[in-house]
Amino acid sequence: MAGFDDLASERSKAQFDVEEMKVIWAGSRHTLEVSDRISRLVANDPVFRKDTRTMLSRKDLFKNTLRKAAHAWKRIIELRLSEEEAAELRFYVDEPAFMDLHWGMFIPTIKGQGTEEQQQKWLPLAYKMKIIGCYAQTELGHGSNVQGLETTATFDPQTDEFIIHSPTLTSSKWWPGGLGKVSTHAVVYGRLIIDSKDYGVNGFIVQLRSLDDHLPLPGITIGDIGMKFGSGAYNTMDNGVLRFDHVRIPRDQMLMRVSQVTREGKLVQSNVPWQLVYGTMVYVRQKIVSDASCALSRAVCIATRYSAVRRQFGLQSNGIETQVIDYKTQQSRLFPLLASAYAFRFVGEWLKWLYMDVNQRLQASDFSTLPEAHACTAGLKSLTTSATADGIEECRKLCGGHGYLCSSGLPELFAVYIPACTYEGDNIVLLLQVARFLIKTVSQLGSGKEPVGTTVYMGRVEQLMQCHCAVQKAEDWLKPSVILEAFEARSMRMSVASAQNLAKFDNQEEGFLELSADLVQAAVAHCQLIVVSKFIEKLQQDIPGKGVKGQLEALCNIYALFILHKHLGDFLSTGCITPKQASLANAQLRSLYSQVRPNAIALVDAFNYTDHYLSSVLGRYDGNVYPKLYEEAWKDPLNDSVVPDGYQEYIQPILKQQLRNARL
Ligand SMILES: CCCCCCCCCCCCC/C=C/C(=O)SCCNC(=O)CCNC(=O)[C@H](O)C(C)(C)COP(=O)(O)OP(=O)(O)OC[C@H]1O[C@@H](n2cnc3c(N)ncnc32)[C@H](O)[C@@H]1OP(=O)(O)O
Ligand SMILES: Cc1cc2nc3c(=O)[nH]c(=O)nc-3n(C[C@H](O)[C@H](O)[C@H](O)COP(=O)(O)OP(=O)(O)OC[C@H]3O[C@@H](n4cnc5c(N)ncnc54)[C@H](O)[C@@H]3O)c2cc1C
């Protein structure tokens, strides 16, 4: 039968050890074992079913999410799951919910910005879920501009309290997930005011709802901000609005790792940089980069399997049509996304290491790598989420008409994913942060301060401004050193050109605004270089398993040459490569697609996704697409009755009217 046979035959063609590739994708044998076990546990639990999600009303959808979250928590306790296993379980439940913010932002904020004492007081309550917290930073009038927040936290020396207040409509907290209906507590960001003096934005732990009856505490107005894009999707989350009317909290509920307010109302700064107040965002941006590879690989898995099952045109001698995956156009759209999923996986792994490293240094009062960590998390968050959002939509198109059906899993995946381009920092705003970092790095060249970390290549500025690409034949593009040099030269030249243009302005801030579109492009070039170089570094590690390394090399080259092809204007206009070399890169890319083609299904099998996680009829492991699509259609509530509700009121009168007109 079509589908079954197609995927079985594809799997038999694989030229590498899929089980070993699963280990590489997971990160380690241990992680693979955990994720495999937990994903099956979730898939086999009827409470975690997802198939009716797009058909539920908002209220039913939300209640069902609460049910799942409670059940997940019960299972975590019953099975005594470790922190790692519990996080995997929440991941595979695959439904945005207040738990994400509680574990993903509220707890990390207390850990990162609270003193030892504050951590000892609040963390046990949060870990046991005796309180549920969210992260209330954004306001109706201010999201990107954190320093523009209007909420005030005024110290009252009489009572040793802060008075939290929303002075204007635009100061209403707006967007925090988990706030609308669930959280009992929040970390609220507001302006610290002591003795009428404004000391800027700080975090405060504020109780919002009673722990007895869940009613808002006096002075607090709270609710959900309403339906969001798509059906199902992010509507399982209670993004909320919150207003304070002179709400009092004890002084020790200001998070005081960065600065402390004494009983006398004196502000004392610690020796840590004030930017640690932004620390949770760095943590979550890093996490978002890792998650981008999950969302993209999921869409790619669906589109790849379906492309092997779907046949159109080109009758072969045996009377069957051509698998659409064999069309070069399909390959040239699909395989770069497959390669990007792997690329984002590895850069995510590296970023996790960078984040851990920066944290260890912070514990030892070494703050030197913080700017680099900020630039990398901001830039890579922007790059990977934009590419993933676009990639999911491309996968929908790659699945033709059926991709538009909710049962393909792609519309909901797209709807749930796209806010990642906005939350945790709008992607353009974040690239502008990277651009500032690059301009600063360029301006310090020659000052004796050597660039470090991901900007170390900028130390070779003279060589990179002059070098000529050595490619003479298509295969030369397979050399990592050739690819790296082209990407480094492009990024270097774009940053230097931006810095030179900026230097022409008397007022640097005005210049920065004027040149911001170019600066963003320079930031993108730098971030793409990071992704390419981390993929190449990954390949330098010991990679066991028959054929595994070869496949990864092909994917790495596809990623790099695809980006080169997409941004050809940059590479040509900066003189990094010639038009002839560009056309050789294109020829090499075509040849790489042919190399990956027989392995495509095995490469997506290596993600080890259950059908439950994919939640897609088109992406089923067994390829049994058509019977299941047919079956799925009949489950739609519209098909509960043969004659629809409303027939007598609305259809019949029209038909009768037509009949009369026809007689006239
Ligand atoms: C689905 C299941 C997954 C589960 C996974 C768990 C994850 C959790 C779930 C995810 C759900 C998402 C929920 C979403 C939450 C949110 O969106 S929370 C709100 C996020 N908000 C933002 O991101 C706001 C973006 N804006 C900013 O970050 C800042 O305003 C700014 C743009 C960086 C500007 O800052 P500002 O202080 O005004 O000015 P600058 O001059 O630019 O910066 C001053 C110096 O500080 C440095 N810096 C800036 N940010 C940081 C940082 N984060 N860390 C370290 N350093 C930083 C900057 O480089 C400047 O340095 P110098 O040049 O050296 O002075
Ligand atoms: C689903 C979702 C969940 C969220 N969850 C939370 C949460 O839990 N807690 C929380 O506190 N917040 C949360 N947020 C808010 C989120 O962090 C902000 O929406 C985000 O930081 C973007 O800010 P903004 O909405 O103010 O966008 P704006 O800054 O108003 O952006 C509008 C446009 O202006 C452009 N722009 C803005 N500034 C500049 C500039 N300097 N230069 C050039 N262009 C610029 C942007 O690129 C964008 O095109 C959430 C948002 C969403 C969508």
Q: pLDDT tens across 464-474, in order?
A: 999 999 999 99
Instruction: Report which protein residue has its CA nearest ligand 1's atom 54.
Output: 374
C-alpha 594/C-alpha 327 separation (Å) is 11
Confidence category of residue 660, pLDDT binned at 50, 70, 90? low
Question: Cβ(281) to ligand 1 under 6 A?
Answer: yes
pLDDT for the residue 2: 62
Determine the atom of ligand 2 nearest the C-alpha atom of 428. 47
pLDDT for the residue 662: 57
Instruction: Report which protein residue has its CA nearest ligand 1's atom 19.
Output: 424
Q: Which fold has domain 111-272?
A: Butyryl-CoA Dehydrogenase, subunit A; domain 2 (2.40.110)
C-alpha 124/C-alpha 130 separation (Å) is 8
CA of 426 to the centre of ligand 2 (A): 5
Confidence category of residue 53, pLDDT binned at 50, 70, 90? confident
Residue 551 near residue 16, CB atoms below 8 Å: yes
pLDDT tens-digit profile of 256-276?
A: 999 999 999 999 999 899 999
Ligand nearest to the CA of 512: 2
Residue whose tokens read 């993933």:
388
Domain residue ranges in the chain: 111-272
Closest of 51, 70, 28, 100 to residue 614, by C-alpha: 51
Question: Cβ(280) to ligand 2 under 6 A?
Answer: no
Q: Please, which residues have CB within 8 angstroms of residue 442's CB and are 6 or more apart in sequence? A: 458, 461, 495, 496, 499
Residue whose tokens read 């994913």:
417
The CA-based diameter of the chain, rounded to the nearest angstrom, is 94
pLDDT tens-digit profile of 527-539?
A: 999 999 999 999 9
State pTM to two decimals. Answer: 0.97
Ligand nearest to the CA of 145: 1
ipTM at complex level? 0.97
Quickly list DSSP for 298-366. Answer: HHHHHHHHHHHH-B-S---TTS---BGGGSHHHHHHHHHHHHHHHHHHHHHHHHHHHHHHHHHHHHTT-
Determine the atom of ligand 2 nearest the C-alpha atom of 134. 8
C-alpha 25/C-alpha 29 separation (Å) is 10
Backbone φ, ψ for residue 527 (5° rounding): -65, -40
Q: 310 is written with which tokens?
A: 């779907």
pLDDT for the residue 359: 93
Pocket test for ligand 2, best of 224, 381, 426, 515 (most atoms within 8 A of CB): 426
SS3 at position 117? helix
Residue 66 has pLDDT above 60, yes or no: yes
Across residues 549-573, what is the average pLDDT? 98
- For the ranges 67-76, 85-94, 226-235, 530-539, the lowest mean pLDDT is seen at 226-235
pLDDT for the residue 1: 54
Residue whose tokens read 């700064």:
269
Question: Cβ(187) to ligand 1 under 6 A?
Answer: no
pLDDT for the residue 664: 54
Instruction: Report which protein residue has its CA nearest ligand 2's atom 7.
Output: 176
pLDDT for the residue 663: 56
pLDDT for the residue 317: 72
Alpha carbon 339 to its chain's center: 17
Ligand nearest to the CA of 386: 2
Residue 232 has pLDDT above 90, yes or no: no
CA of 353 to the centre of ligand 1 (A): 19
Q: Please, which residues have CB within 8 angstroms of residue 347's CB and are 6 or more apart in sequence? A: 289, 380, 384, 530, 531, 534, 535
Ligand nearest to the CA of 281: 1
pLDDT for the residue 96: 96
CA atoms within 13 A on the CB side of 17: 11
pLDDT tens-digit profile of 349-403?
A: 999 999 999 999 998 999 999 999 999 999 999 999 999 999 999 999 999 999 9
Question: Cβ(177) to ligand 2 under 6 A?
Answer: yes
Alpha carbon 417 to its chain's center: 7
Question: Cβ(379) to ligand 2 under 6 A?
Answer: no
CB burial string 496-527: b at 16+ within 10 A, e below: bbbbeebeeeeeeeebbeebeeebbbbbbbbb
> In whole numbers, what is the pLDDT of the chain averaged over residues?
96
Residue 404 has pLDDT above 60, yes or no: yes
pLDDT for the residue 446: 84
Residue 659 has pLDDT above 70, yes or no: no
- For the ranges 81-95, 159-173, 309-323, the lowest mean pLDDT is seen at 309-323
CA of 423 to the centre of ligand 2 (A): 6
Pocket test for ligand 1, best of 433, 437, 438 (most atoms within 8 A of CB): 433
DSSP 202: E
Question: Cβ(39) to ligand 2 under 6 A?
Answer: no
User: What count of other Cβ atoms lies within 10 Å of the Cβ of residue 274?
Assistant: 13
Catalytic center residues: 424
Mode of pairing for the β-strands spanning 247-250 and 185-194: unpaired
pLDDT tens-digit profile of 407-431?
A: 999 999 999 999 999 999 999 999 9
Instruction: Report which protein residue has its CA nearest ligand 2's atom 8.
Output: 176
Across residues 99-114, what is the average pLDDT? 97
Residue 574 near residue 494, CB atoms below 8 Å: yes
Pocket test for ligand 2, best of 139, 140, 144, 417 (most atoms within 8 A of CB): 144
Residue 529 near residue 487, CB atoms below 8 Å: yes
Q: Please, which residues have CB within 8 angstroms of residue 3's CB and are 6 or more apart in sequence? A: 309, 620, 622, 623, 624, 625, 626
C-alpha 441/C-alpha 456 separation (Å) is 10
Determine the atom of ligand 1 nearest the C-alpha atom of 143. 24
pLDDT tens-digit profile of 1-35?
A: 566 789 999 999 999 999 999 999 999 999 999 99
